[in-house]
Chain A
Amino acid sequence: MRREETPPPAVCRNRGKMPNDPEDKQPPVNAQGEKPANEQADKPTGAPVAPAVQPPVAKPVAPPTPPKPAAPATAPGAPVGAAMPGAPAGAATLPKPPAPPKEAPPKPEPVDNPLVQRFKKRFGAGILEAWQDRKQAILVVDRAHLVEIARFTRDDEQFNFLADLTAVDWPKREKRFDVVLNLYSFPKNERLRLKVWAADGEPVPTVSHVWPTANWLEREAYDMFGIVFEGHPNLTRILLPDGWQGFPLRKDYDILTQDTAWIRENLGIESGQ
C-alpha cells in the first residue's frame, strides 16, 4: 500500500499508529501516512527492541516491496506492549511498559493424551505419529487402515462431522502427498486432524462411505493433486474441465502452466501462457 505525503482524508485521519513504526529503526523509505499526524508521538513510542527469540530463518531481509521496511519477522504477539495511542497526536511521553514475556513461537510437538492413547491402543501400528500444533491435534495414520480408523473415529470417538478433506504436496518426500482430514465432533465439540501419507500413484481408500461429505472433497483432491481414492463412487474432475491434463496444485505444476491442448481443442485459441 502506498501512502501519500498529503495528509489522509478526514475519515481516516485518526489512524492508529502501527506498533513497528521504525523511529528507532531505519527511517521509513516511503512516506508512511502517519508521519504528519504522529510526529510528536515519535519519542516515547520506541518499540522495544525485537525480541531475542528469532525464528530460524530470520535475517534482515531486504524489503521485498518498498512499503515493507526490514524488520524481524514474527514477534510473539503482545498486543498492548507498546504504548500505542488509539487516538493520534498529543501523546505525552508515556512510560515504556516492560517488554512482554516472550512466548515461544508456536510449533508442532508430539503429544500423547488420552485420545491418542485410545487410538494407539486400538490400532497400534496404524497410528504413525501424533502431534499437537497450535493447540490442534493431528494424528498421522497408516493408509492401509484408513477406513477402519475412519469408522472408529466416527463411531467410537464421535467425530461425526468431516469438515474438510484435502491434500498437501511435499515433493521432496518419498510419500509426497499428505491427505488431510479435518474432523469435528458435535457431541464433544472437539476437532481432530487425521493425516495419511501417500506416494504418487498410490491410491488412498475413500472415506466417502464413512462421511458422505468426502464425496466432492475427494473429487477435488483428485482433481487438484491426482490422488486416486479407491472405492469412490464417481472419481471425476470436479473443478477443472473433464479432459484436462495435469494436476495443478502439485508443486511441479508451474503457476503459469495450462493444458494448451485442451484449450486449443475446446476454445479454439492458443493458450496465452
Chain B
Amino acid sequence: MPDQPRVRTMACVGGISLERGVPLEDLQEYLHDAENVLWMDVQNPGPDERAMLVEEFGFHPLALEGTAQEPRRPKVEEYKGYLALIACSALPGEADDDATLAAVDLFIGRNFVVTLYRGPVPAIDDGLARWTRGGQTLREGVGALIYALLDALVDSFVPAIDRVEDEINEIEIAVFTRPPEESLRRLLRLKRSLMALRRVLYPLREVFSVLLRPDPPVPLRGTDIYLRKVSDHVLRILDVLDTEREMVAGALEATLTVSSNRLNNTMKTLAVITVAMAVVGSVFGAYGMNFEAIPLEDAAWGFWAVAVGTIGLVGLAVLLGSWRRWW
C-alpha cells in the first residue's frame, strides 16, 4: 500500500509571527505579500497534491515530473518565477548500514519554498526547527528558509560519513586478524557507499554556485553569507569523502597484500614439504635400484635403519628450519 500523502504549511508573516497550518484557500493571500514567507511540505505526493501545486503555485507539470522519486543528481533549474532544485538527504542508519539516500525536491519562489519527498526525511523537520528558531534571520525572507533547509540537508550527510570513517578504522585493524574475505566484502560495500555519497554531494557545488551568483535567481537579502557557509561545508565534506576514499583504497591494498602474504606462506610450507618428501623419496628410490652391492643390504635391521634414519634426518631438518625460521 503506497504511503499516504501529507501536506504541512507554515508561514512567517512579515517576519513577526509564525503561523502553522495555513489553509489552502488562503495561500494566495499569504503569497501576495512579499514580506511573508510560506513553506509547504509535501510528503509522499500523489496526483492530487501535484495538481494542487500546479494550480496554487503555477508550477510547470514537467517540473513536477519525477519529483520525490529515487535519488537523482542534484541540480537547479530556473523556471519563470521559481527555481526547481533537486537535493538529497542521507537517512539515519545503524553502524554497519549502507548510506541510504532520499531525494528532496525544493521549489523556491520569491517568498515561498515547497519541499517534496517520499517517506520520512528527518532533515526536513530539522530544517523547519532551525528556521522557526531563526529569530531575527526570519526577517531576511525566503533566504533564511532556504538556508535552514539546505543546511539541515547537508548536515544529514555528516553522520553517514562518520559511520564510514569509523568502519574504515575498524577494518584497518581487522585486516590483520580477520579473514580477508570479510574485510574485502566490507571494504567494497564502503566503497559503494562513498561513491553514492559523492555522486549526490559533488553536483551540489553547482547548485550553490547558481544560488550564490552575483544576480541570485531568488532574493537572498543578507542570507547569502549563510549559504556560503553551507557551500563551504559541502566542500569540506567532499574533502573528507576524498580522504575516506583513499583510506578505503589503502585498506583494500593492505587486505590484498595480507592475503597475498598468507598465500606465500602457504606456498612456502608446501614447498618445504615437497622438498622433504623428495629427499625421502630419492633415498628410498636409490635403495630400490638393482645395484650389486647396497650398504646394509645383508643386515637384518638395514631396512629399518635406512627408513628411520632418512625420515628422522629429514624431519629433524624440517623442525630445525621451522625453529630457526629459515623460511
Same complex for A and B? Answer no
Binding site for A on B (CB under 8 A): none
Binding site for B on A (CB under 8 A): none
